[in-house]
């Protein structure tokens, strides 16, 4: 069973991409809706919340982990092997698969993400390892606004304000460095016409298939756990998985 960890509803976009390429997987998903969004939290808070979230997934039968929260840095994810009984449990994070997708590309890249992701420099450093510079900028309010369902007018305002920091001729492709952002993909397309928009979930899903097939064969079962009630989470789940049978359990 694959455990998917996220700060809230954003990881649903990763799960959707995983299901598209690997429909037979059984999934247990933990969305920390009580503490979302993670993007403005300190590294100490992120460390604690991540350890607790992944421990929960392991206790609920996860035999592989996908950390779908970009605000949780690659270095933090990998250090989990030091504090959790992961043993031979595979752990896949967001940054590596995303950066690998651009090997050999000549495209100029801009990345939008949460404050925590941008300030960590994890994407910048990873892209430099393949010889590419990336322009990174934060959209501080957007992930939280999506979690709360503020609406397209608010999303567009936040995105346009942030995009104003990036000269239009500086990039060819806009990378969505927060898993919440693809939930409002149409708004990004409206705000960045003519730019290719890349969702790292696609690369992560391919990594899951390549690394975990056929080890993680199942029946397509999905159990969602959220740390507090969220009508918005339920709405996104219903929109992304309209024909799927799944359960949603609220932990508090």
Active-site residue set: 69, 178
Euclidean distance between the first and the last CA atom of the chain, given in angstroms as a whole number:
24
Q: Are 236 and 12 in contact (CB under 8 A)?
A: yes
Q: What tokens appear for 131 in the block?
A: 């010889």
Alpha helices in 22-109 (DSSP H): 43-59, 74-83, 95-100
Q: What tokens appear for 92 in the block?
A: 């896949």
How far apart are the C-alpha atoms of 202 and 221, rounded to whole Å? 21
How far apart are the C-alpha atoms of 116 and 138, rounded to whole Å? 9
3 state DSSP class of 69: coil
Q: Minimal CA–CA distance to 122: which of 77, 74, 76?
A: 74
Beta strands in 36-186 (DSSP E): 64-67, 91-92, 109-113, 134-138, 173-176
């Amino acid at each position: 069973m694959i455990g998917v960890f996220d700060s809230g509803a954003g990881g649903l976009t990763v799960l959707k991409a995983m299901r598209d390429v690997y429909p037979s997987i059984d999934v247990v998903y933990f969305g920390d809706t009580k503490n979302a969004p993670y993007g403005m939290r300190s590294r100490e808070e992120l460390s604690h919340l991540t350890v607790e979230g992944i421990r929960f997934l392991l206790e609920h039968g996860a035999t592989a982990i996908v950390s779908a929260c970009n605000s949780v840095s690659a270095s933090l994810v990998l250090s989990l092997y030091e504090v959790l009984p992961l043993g031979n449990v595979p752990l896949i994070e967001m940054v590596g698969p995303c950066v690998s997708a651009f090997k050999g590309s000549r495209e100029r890249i801009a990345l939008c993400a949460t404050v925590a992701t941008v300030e960590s420099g994890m994407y910048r450093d990873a892209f430099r390892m393949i010889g590419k510079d990336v322009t990174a900028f934060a959209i501080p309010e957007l992930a939280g606004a999506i979690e709360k369902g503020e609406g397209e007018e608010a999303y567009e305002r936040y995105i346009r304000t942030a995009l104003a920091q990036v000269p239009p001729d500086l990039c060819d492709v806009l990378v969505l460095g927060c898993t919440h952002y693809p939930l409002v993909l149409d708004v990004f397309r409206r705000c960045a016409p003519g730019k290719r928009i890349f969702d790292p979930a696609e690369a992560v899903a391919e990594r899951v298939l390549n690394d975990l097939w056929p080890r993680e064969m199942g029946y397509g079962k999905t159990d969602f756990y959220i740390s507090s009630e969220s009508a918005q989470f339920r709405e996104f789940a219903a929109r992304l998985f309209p024909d799927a049978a799944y359960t949603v359990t609220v932990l508090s």
